[in-house]
Amino acid sequence: MSNPRKESNAMTTSTMMTIAMPRAPVGKAWEEVSASFDRFCLAAGIETLGAMMEADAEVACGRRHSRSEDRRGHRWGRTAGRIGFHAGKVAIERPRVRGLDGKELPLASWEQAVDGDWLGQWAMNLMLINVSTRKYGRAVRLPEGDVPTPAGSGVSKSAASRHFVALSAARLQEWMASDLSKLDLLVVQIDGIHMTGDLVLVAAIGIDGKGVKHPLGLIEGATENAAVVQALIDNLVARRLDPAVPRLFIIDGSKALSKAIRRSFGREALIQRCQIHKARNIMERLPKPMHAAVRRVLRQAWELDDANKAEKLIRNLARRLEHDAPGVSASILEGLDEILTVTRLGLPKELRRALACTNIVENVMSTVRRVCRNVKRWRSASMALRWTAAAMQEAVKGFRRLKAHKQLPALRAALQDHRTKDSTRGILARQVDAA
């Protein structure tokens, strides 16, 4: 006596298998699923694309052996081609169609299938997560897997390198030509990174009114001098970064940076020198027994809300060090006005802490070092630019809004107030000169 429950389950399974069984043109590919799902996807994709290309050929030429009057060409045999699969290439045979004028007609399905640069995107993604070109083939295809990697499959180290070079160069060119006029930038951080002894890259990061961070530009030079920084700023201005809009510029303390910024954005441009860099430079020149006391005074000065009191505290520190370390005493007073810019603007404490250093651009540079650690030798400046630009775009994926982004309206108001006072001083100065 048969079991009704077993018969019901068998009927349900049979029905489900019938529904799930694919129809042509992927019916033949179903045989490959017993070997592996990858083989099934490959075979099904090739069969489907082949059917689509045949349909395109029929649209252009009509049915085989027919003499349609509205045909645009005739069949011209078949040829071998390659298409991207598993970050490499696989062979596929495609039909060819020759137009009535003797020129080959493109097949829409084939053009669409090979249009996207998926191989370049695969190569760039794996290299940005530190997969070397020598291991690229193993990263995308198993050595003993069902998808073969014969010669010409596009997974060699040289092929991966070519894909990365082409895509990174295109993205660098697009990025360095992008329009900046739509960004409501309140803060611009500029800093350099030493790639080799004779190669320095200078980068700019912007922060808009909502606290969102934006990589702005990158340029190469032999040193972090005024000419290199000026070239970067000229590029930003050429991309419609309005010099008339008041902004806060945060730098690491280089005089070349200050000079170039004031030349392009006016002598009264607001510049904040990194307090962390300043304290580090002072500590490196002092004996260890003095570190704790000096660091305590500097921290107290950075935390004060009154800029005049903070300046007085730092000058007293410099005076006490005149006997034991006269060189350090002079270093403490150098650039004192730019060290306390965020304090003079009257910004809230949390916002001051976020904008008193170049930590944002330093974090981006740490991503650059991590991404570029597999590079053994920089062959040219263009190579360093491509890698660094790609790494900066990779760093964007981990960006978070500025911690004190809710207090940015206070910065906007302070910048506008500074601009108004600057304009008033300029008018008064012109009136005095005229008198």
Q: How far apart are CA 404 and CA 407, in angstroms?
A: 6
Q: How far apart are CA 175 and CA 391, in angstroms?
A: 13
Find residue 230's DSSP bridge partners: none
Q: Convert the pLDDT of each residue in 59-107 to its tens digit.
A: 888 888 777 777 888 888 999 888 887 778 888 899 999 988 889 999 9
Q: How confident is the model at residue 268 (pLDDT cuts 50, 70, 90)?
A: confident
The angle subtended at Cα 139 by Cα 138 and Cα 142, nearest 5°, is 50
Q: How confident is the model at residue 28 (pLDDT cuts 50, 70, 90)?
A: low
Q: Convert the pLDDT of each residue in 291-349 to its tens digit.
A: 999 999 999 999 999 999 999 999 999 999 888 888 888 889 988 989 999 999 999 99
Q: What is the predicted pLDDT for the residue at 15? A: 38
For the chain, counts of helices (H) and of strands (E):
18, 8
Average of pLDDT values for 419-434? 64
Q: Is pLDDT at 230 greater than 80 in this prediction? A: yes
Q: Could you tell me the strand order of the sheet in which 88-99 lies?
A: 73-85, 88-99, 104-105
Of the chain, the percentage scoring pLDDT greater than 70 comes to: 87
Using left for φ > 0, alpha for ψ between -120 and 50, and beta otherwise, residue 130 falls in left
Rg (CA), the chain: 32
Q: Is pLDDT at 170 greater than 60 in this prediction? A: yes
In b/e form, how buried is each residue of 43-59, taking b as 16+ CB within 10 angstroms?
A: bbbbbbbbebbbebbbe
Q: Roughly what angle, to the nearest 10 degrees, separates helices 37-61 and 108-115?
A: 140
